[in-house]
Structure 1
Amino acid sequence: MEAKHMKISCDSITPPKHPWFVSQKVEDEGDNTQFHIFYNIHDPMSHYRCQIPELLGKRIRGCFHGCWAVLSSNHPRDVIWSLWNPITSKIINLPPLNHIGSEGDCSDISEFCLSAPPEDPNSVLLLMRTAKPNFVYCRLGIDSSSPEACNRQELRWTESTYANQIKTLTDCDGLLHCLTCCNGKVYAYIRLAGNRRRTQLIVEVNIVINDCEIKKQREAVITLLPMLEFFCPFIVDCGLVSLLLKGSSTELFLVILGLKDNGKTVGAVNLLKLNMNNMTWEEIEDLKDTILSVELDISSSPFYSPAIASSEFGGYIHILADKGKIIYSYHVKDKTISFSSIPIVAGTINVSAWAMPQCTRLKGDRVLVHCKQEKESHKEDEMVIRSVKGNHEVESHLIIFQNCVLKMKEFCVGVVERLKLSPPPYDCRLESNKVHDDGSHLLNLPPHVLEMLIMEFCAGVEYLKFRATCKRCHLAAPLIPWNNRKASKIMQKYSVPSPWLIVFDKHKGIITLTDPVFGDKYFIKTPQELICDFQIKCSRFGWLLILKPDGSLMFFNPFTSDILELPELPGVHIICFSAPPTSPDCMVVGIAVGSRPYDICIHIVGGEPSWRTTSLNVRGDKFFKYLTFYGRDLYALREDGGFDFFREMGREDHAWFRHAAKGPASCCKSLPQCFQLICDQHLLRVIVGKFGESVEVFKKSRLRNWVKKDTLGKHVIFICGASSVCLDAKTPQMENKIYFPTSPIMYYSLETCRFHTLNNQDSFGDFFGTKHHLTPHGWIEPRWS
């Protein structure tokens, strides 16, 4: 895509009011090639490039109290910290940090916090060292409007230790983590050691300014005040858990990130808010107008951004990763996550990111370059970047609703044609977002006759659409329970015989089933047994195999509401089953990781009361990621991309072929996602780039080699972890496609080598801008018995 540039020179530059992220090319001070890119994930088609003189040769470290940016120079031996207010263009330069010792360079600073605005008499810029429990602070509570008061003789750095305070509070050594401020106070937490190593202690970093008569100046006294202990949660299927304190103007949040791939990928997000009245954490289901920004890479430079109020674009936690080049945007209410890529300078190594408040105005002489991306005229190269929805979602729903009304009118005419009747004048009007009948009589049929016809020809979403068409349809089509026998028979008859996307929402207690062909949604009430943070381990034959937080296993069929409990299997990592659990041949196989060497566990659902365990005698080997059954044969995908093969699993004479084949040679340059499935007696491997930048399909040949496939023929693949499946396409429009569990559902066409939405109007090249579910979800094949 080409970018059109428009240079503007003016006294005050205000990009459109959005929460902006700013990437910068950091060079030496005075380098005129340095510039900043203002990027907004809600409008990815546009970004602004601007050169700000106050930031030349400096790094943006964060923003506090709405408008004060903390900056540091790009010189490791002579670090100059400063504060800059982009609204007033005021800048406060602090003394060189290394004057207090040889170790006082910028690389030794782990975190920092501005306790209050600089004009506050108790304001302190508080830094913490990485390797030792020391504070480094500079008192800023002076008349910053006076140039004489801001000289370097009155501003000075002081270093003090908090080691003894940590020892007193925890009986062990430790460091403070995650400095943040809210409601005029500074907070942090301590990781406890020993038997309580998963326990954290929240403390208030109390800063009091006292007069010192001996030194003839005011000194800061810093005291750690314990508040409450909390336990670091364990998140299933996430190897690492990151805890981040985040303060807003009056509220203290705890962002819990479950990380995969050695901390490189966000796999789960939980948000808690501290109730200051009873000192307990409360789970937050909706951030509403608030926006939070946090840093994923804990080894990178410290980063802070204030909570931003935005009624239009609120409700998000923006997680900066890969040194600020990638943004994970988690919508707290929808429980979905999307990806964005911040435009950066090619070849730039040092990139800073800063979540800039909406109200910020850039005063002084500036040069603003507006880069607006536009679509190419060639259809084959057309790409639409889809942004995260704001208040435009209401408008979209209105259009969809209008379309539903028109479709129902066509449906009514179709019913009439079947009865060979002449349709009377009929009209549906949309007023104030509601459908009203104009008084005409639909079909002039008695309600019981109309009900009989609708029950015969209408099912699922179509039935609900008919009820919403007008008052007469509403009376003729009463609500029907999901498990009603007649309704379920109609669903079996008219539902598309392909997997549906199932998504669980424990907060609302709702299961959503989405038809991947037409996008229609069906809703079921979640059983009480599943109102928890469970994990879907496998999906086959219309059944889900679920692992609950307490380690128990159960089968669940959402179409029949049947639940089947299994014996507990402690330490299970991956698990799969060979047949429907109602079948006498159903065998469940799991790999237990609680012991070394690894154990393989087998359970015959209809014939054994417990698990049968066999040691694999494997130590330090590449562990398995997925299990795939084909009959009684089992394929185990290893972490290195290869696989092992178990022939006639469950029998006493079963054979185990270790390292049966290596993984295929993929061109994927990012962290790949590998999916293993069976198609027409052949083993397939689908390799997808981390952000969808590449999609490859390989078939295992008889010669232990992998053959790359450019087409699936009449097959279709549904991708989602352990619920991936390859089937014969039931309709021609599904052929040669790979469906992904996004919101809305999208598919990858092996013919166009691009992603498309269901209506085929949008075409794009990767996952950026698309939403992915973080709640339990997967593909499930409809099975009504």
Structure 2
Amino acid sequence: MGGGLCSSAYDCILWNPLTLERISLPQVNAEISFSILTCHPSEPDCKVLLFASGIPSILYCELGNKEWITLNYHDELRRSLQEEEIVEDNLILYNPVCCNGNLYAVLVPSRWDSKLHIVKIHDIQPDSLKIESLNVFLPVVPPLGATKRIYLMESCGDLFTVEIQYKDQILTGVLAIEIHRLNFSNKEWLKVDSAKDRAFFLPPGVEQADAAVSSPASNSDIANRVYFTLFDNNNLYSYNIEDGTVSISSIFLNLPRVYEPSSPIWLMPDLRFTNTLKEAKDKSNTEQEGGGKVCGKENDIKEDVEDIGDTNELFLSDLPFDMVKVIAERLILVDYLHFRATCKIFHYAAPSIQWRIALQMRVESPSLLSPWLVFFEKQSVCTFIDPKHGEKYHINLPQELKGGCIICGSQDGWLLVAVGEKSTFFFNPFTQVIIPLAELNGHETRSFSCIGFSSSPTSSECVVVEFDKRMCLESGDDKFGVESCRMREDHWNMNFFDDADFSFNDNSAVFYRGAFYCLGKKGNLGLLKLNDEEEDTWEVLTQPKSPCLSGYHKNFLVECDGELLSVFVGCLGKWVQVFKLNESKMTWIRVESLGNYMLYLSCSSSLAVMAKTPGMENKIYFPIFCGESMVFFSLETKKFHSFESKDVAIDFYSSREKLRCGWIEPRWC
């Protein structure tokens, strides 16, 4: 609306910083959590609503009134919940939002594992109000980090939720962002994969849910993004909704820290906007290949020769068919698939690949000799990117995994995938084989900060562990839980261990010499041993000490050639350091070169592989992009590069980081 509510201990005004117009309001003698206007201040029936902090009360007044009217909504809210047979003790409303003339708010349940639901507030009178439970729960996204915030907001007449998951409680990094839109007709939340006509802005303060706003945006450089800040720097970050990457939009040297008493808020000018943008249709070519569908790149050439111009048509008809076959035989796998999709002649010259015997191509297909980046797109497609060539292709997900799943780990060509709140599967995307694990126990919901598995799920010895960051509710002590499940077991085993000054840093656990090792946020090592005959044990090792005392943003643990390596990444990629564990002395030794090995690092999976393709060795690959090329760190130059930029160094201000992804080694058997 172009303005905001400003208040001190007693005085309260509406202020438009663009026109400097002020509207005085009655003094406020209560602590306020949220504030909202029912409509623009120029409207005759505009009301100002203040939601009291910690008590079920709303203060409201119409413009020109001399005092606030206090309405207690406790009994009315309880009545509306009882009609829907909802039992709830905590009767405090949060995050009010106006949408299409209606006022909505969020009821946060008293149980931490219960769902948040939306109520509608209407018929606000001096002595009463009405609350209607919509029986609509906020969408559930399995928690990945230590802290998450969910914002309810209006945008262009629609109701949206934006959920952001942070890697820690002090908001120094982001693991995932998801947006949903409410379909009012069937009360269903729809995941938003693209929002090309609008942008979302999240407040710096964690308690400023009512300060989250959305704005129409026709500029493609601004639209289709979520903007946010982090605790430990002065950068403005943007999340691209369509490609799932985070980049640094701007640097504000005078941006206040989020912990300061008066955090900044977003202020949207009063705009009138008509949505005329239409989302482009996906024109990817699709062909059936064995277990899954493989789709060409977005800009692939159409299949039919008739669709190609006259010049190219003559060239293709002049090219000997045997020569076309020879060309096809020399292509790497991804190029081979795109080659087949180009036209009918190439389609006939390049026979369909039998996925189960594709490993025979490994000698002649360099792209199969290194891991690929893997992530899920639009809830139904598994996407791969070859880090060397930048080629991208897709495989359709089987029905069991459609509807939203998260990559939790990777090993030997298998992905460990979480689906919903309780289901876990092993999935080989190349063979389409799915191996289910037991459902999580009882009412437990997934909330892990570190996960790992010991071996390929085809082995009877395979065991999966999830390190749960939650509090031990029964004792009230700071503890974390470890859930473990072996193949063919029908349940998960739960153990609780003392926190012992160990903070998980959202990286993957490594199974090494019969135990699971975790690298903590402080650079210390935690060791989990699962014992068949005795109780499982957890130990935070006093040695080795962290090789980096401060200044790093991320760290990773990976096994390389039978040894444990730790990798520390400085803030904004200013430096990268690699260390090897000397087990005899229990100290970290600095590694200056990886030799012929290469590392692939991400939050969900980290791999070490010997390079078979010249030019890929002695490098560390990250799920970071500069343009369309993947970024790597060279231990030779001590700088970030990409194959596209060659010798030109890259900084994080010109790159994009992919969230919710992992690395996988292609395996068809």
Secondary structure in 2 matching 1:166: helix
Distance 2:116 2:529 in 1: 45
Are the counterparts in 1 of residues 11 and 28 from structure 2 also a CA contact under 8 Å? no
Deviations, residues 655-705 of structure 1 (Å, cap 9, x unaligned): 9875262441425446x3321112233321112356445433222223222
CA contact (8 A) 2:104 2:121 kept: yes
Residues 239-259 of structure 1, C-alpha deviations (whole Å, 9 max, x = no match): 444332211242222223334
* Pair 1:111-2:34 in alignment: yes
Taking the aligned partners of 1:543 and 1:502, their CA distance within structure 2 comes to 11
1:781 aligns with one of 640, 649, 665:
665
Higher alpha-carbon Rg: 1
Amino acid at match of 1:235: P
2:510 counterpart letter in structure 1: T
Contact kept in structure 1, 2:523 and 2:548, CA below 8 Å: no
More relative contact order in 1 or in 2 (CA 8 Å, sep 6+)?
1
> Residue 456 of structure 1 contacts residue 490 of structure 1 at CA under 8 Å; is this kept in 2?
no
SS of alignment partner, residue 16 of structure 2: strand
Name the SS of the counterpart of 1:281 in structure 2: strand
Aligned CA distance change for structure 1 residues 295 and 520 (closer, same or farther; 3 Å): same
Structure 1: runs of 5+ lacking an equivalent: 1-63, 141-153, 209-219, 361-389, 395-400, 406-430
2:579 matched residue in structure 1? 698
Structure 2 length as normaliser, TM-score? Answer: 0.77
Q: 1:296–1:526: structure 2 CA closer, same or farther, 3 Å change rule?
A: farther
Matched ranges for 1:404-443 at <5 A: 437-442=311-316
* Pairwise CA distance, 1:180: 1.9
Bigger shift: 282-291 or 619-628? 619-628
CA contact (8 A) 1:163 1:173 kept: no
- 2:408 corresponds to which of 537, 544, 547: 537
Is 1:158 matched up with 2:68? Answer: yes
Distance 2:113 2:412 in 1: 44
Report matched runs for 1:211-610 at 5 Å: 223-232=129-138, 233=140, 235-262=142-169, 264=171, 265-295=173-203, 297-300=205-208, 303-310=211-218, 312=220, 313-322=222-231, 325-345=234-254, 352-357=264-269, 437-442=311-316, 444=318, 446-447=320-321, 449-450=322-323, 452-467=325-340, 472-473=345-346, 476-477=349-350, 480-481=352-353, 483=355, 485=357, 489-490=360-361, 493-496=364-367, 497-507=369-379, 509-549=380-420, 551-568=422-439, 570=441, 573=448, 574-582=450-458, 586-590=461-465, 601=484, 603=486
Within 1, Cα distance between the matches of 2:539 and 2:28? 64
Deviations 1:174-215 (A, max 9, x none): 32211222223332222244799534232234446xxxxxxx
Once the two structures are superposed, residues 602-643 of structure 1 have per-residue CA deviations (whole angstroms, 9 ceiling, x without a partner) of: 73x5xx76689696x844445685431235454343565322
Q: What amino acid does structure 1 have at the position aligned with 2:314?
A: S
130, 133, 158: which one aligns with 2:56: 133
Please tell me the residue identity of whatever aligns with 2:559: I
Matches within 5 A, 1:87-126: 89=19, 91-95=21-25, 99-101=27-29, 103=30, 108-126=31-49
Identify which range, 221-230 or 118-127, moves more after superposition: 221-230
Query: For residue 538 of structure 1, what is the amino acid of its counterpart?
Result: G
| Inter-CA distance 736–194: structure 2 relative to 1 (3 Å threshold) | closer
Q: Could you say what secondary structure the match of 2:213 adopts?
A: coil
Q: Does 1:69 align with 2:12?
A: no
**Partners in 2 of 1:539 and 1:330 — Cα distance?**
25
Does the residue aligned with 2:598 lie in a helix, a strand or coil? strand
AA at the equivalent of 1:535: I
Distance 1:668 1:195 in 2: 33
Distance in 2, Cα, partners of 1:727 & 1:168: 61
Are the equivalent residues in 2 in contact too, given 1:274–1:281 (CA < 8 A)? yes
- Which of 597, 603, 607 is the equivalent residue of 1:721? 603
Give the drift of 1:119: 1.8
Q: Give the superposition deviation at 1:568.
A: 4.9
What is the DSSP-based 3-state SS (H/G/I as helix, E as strand, rest coil) of the residue aligned with 1:764? coil
Cα distance 1:441–1:168, how it changes in 2: closer, same or farther (>3 A)? Answer: closer
The 1-side partners of 2:10 and 2:481 are apart by 54
Task: Return the offset for 1:115.
Answer: 1.9
Are the equivalent residues in 1 in contact too, given 2:71–2:128 (CA < 8 A)? no
Query: Residue 411 of structure 2 contacts residue 456 of structure 2 at CA under 8 Å; is this kept in 1?
Result: yes
SS of residue in 2 equivalent to 1:117: coil
Letter in structure 2 aligned against 1:94: S
Deviation for aligned residue 1:81:
2.0
Does the 8 Å CA contact 1:235/1:258 hold for their aligned counterparts? no
Q: What's the offset of the Cα at 1:754?
A: 3.6
Instruction: Output the CA distance in 2 between the equivalents of 1:229 and 1:669.
Output: 47
Q: Residue 195 of structure 2 aligns to which amino acid in structure 1?
A: L
* Cα separation, 2, equivalents of 1:583 and 1:700: 28
Q: In the alignment, is residue 169 of structure 1 matched against residue 80 of structure 2? A: yes
Q: How far apart are residue 725 of structure 1 and its match?
A: 1.6
Tell me if the contact between 1:166 and 1:172 (Cα under 8 Å) persists in the aligned partners: no
Tell me how far apart the structure 2 counterparts of residues 249 and 190 of structure 1 sit (CA, whole Å).
24
How many matched pairs? 612
Alignment partners' CA distance in 1, 2:538 and 2:118? 49
- Correspondence for 2:565: 684
What SS does the corresponding residue of 2:420 show, helix, strand or coil? coil
Q: Secondary structure at the match of 2:408?
A: strand
Name the CA distance, whole Å, in 2 between partners of 1:205 and 1:678: 59
Could you list the runs of 5+ residues in structure 2 that have no partner in the other structure?
82-87, 273-277, 283-296, 473-478
Structure 2: which amino acid aligns with 1:160? T
Task: Give me the TM-score of the superposition, normalised by structure 1.
Answer: 0.67
User: Percent same amino acid among aligned pairs?
Assistant: 27
CA contact (8 A) 1:100 1:159 kept: no
* Post-superposition offset of 1:276: 3.1
Number of the residue aligned with 1:145: none
The offset of 1:541, in angstroms, is 1.8
User: How far apart in 1 are the matches of 2:189 and 2:434?
Assistant: 33
CA separation in 1, counterparts of 2:310 and 2:342?
A: 8
